[in-house]
Structures are given as C-alpha cells and as structure tokens.
C-alpha cells in the first residue's frame, strides 16, 4: 500500500515521492488506521497479548 504524501509547494496530495520538484512529505494515516493502532496498543498495555 502506497503512502499518501502531500506536496509542500502546492499542498495537493500525491502518491509520488516528489511533486513540483520538491520532496512530498507523508501525512498522518487515515482515521481507521489510527484506531487500529490505538486498539493494538491498548491490548498490549493491558497485557492481553
């Protein structure tokens, strides 16, 4: 799965490493991914895994 990046020059989203001749920076993962990470963290923190 490719990571979504955001061009720092024109502020548009892209899947490319560069845009407008500049390096496009990665953005935060989608909300559902974030929830998965927190759920996984909670399980580990609770000692259930």
Task: Tell me if 28 sits within 8 A of 4, measured CB to CB.
Answer: no
> Would you count residue 15 as binding Zn ion (CB under 5 A)?
no
CA distances in angstroms from 24 to 12, 14, 16, 19, 28, listed in the order given: 9, 8, 7, 6, 13
> Would you count residue 34 as binding Zn ion (CB under 5 A)?
no
> Would you count residue 23 as binding Zn ion (CB under 5 A)?
no
Shortest Cβ 37–Zn ion spacing (Å) = 29
> Would you count residue 5 as binding Zn ion (CB under 5 A)?
no
Using the structure block, give the residue that is written with the tokens 């399980």: 43
Residues within the interface to Zn ion (CB under 5 A)? 7, 9-10, 19-20
């Amino acid at each position: 799965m490719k990571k979504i990046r955001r061009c720092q020059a024109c502020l548009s989203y892209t899947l490319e490493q560069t845009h407008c001749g500049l390096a496009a920076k990665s953005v935060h993962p989608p909300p559902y991914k974030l929830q998965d990470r927190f759920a996984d963290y909670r399980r580990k923190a609770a000692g259930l895994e």
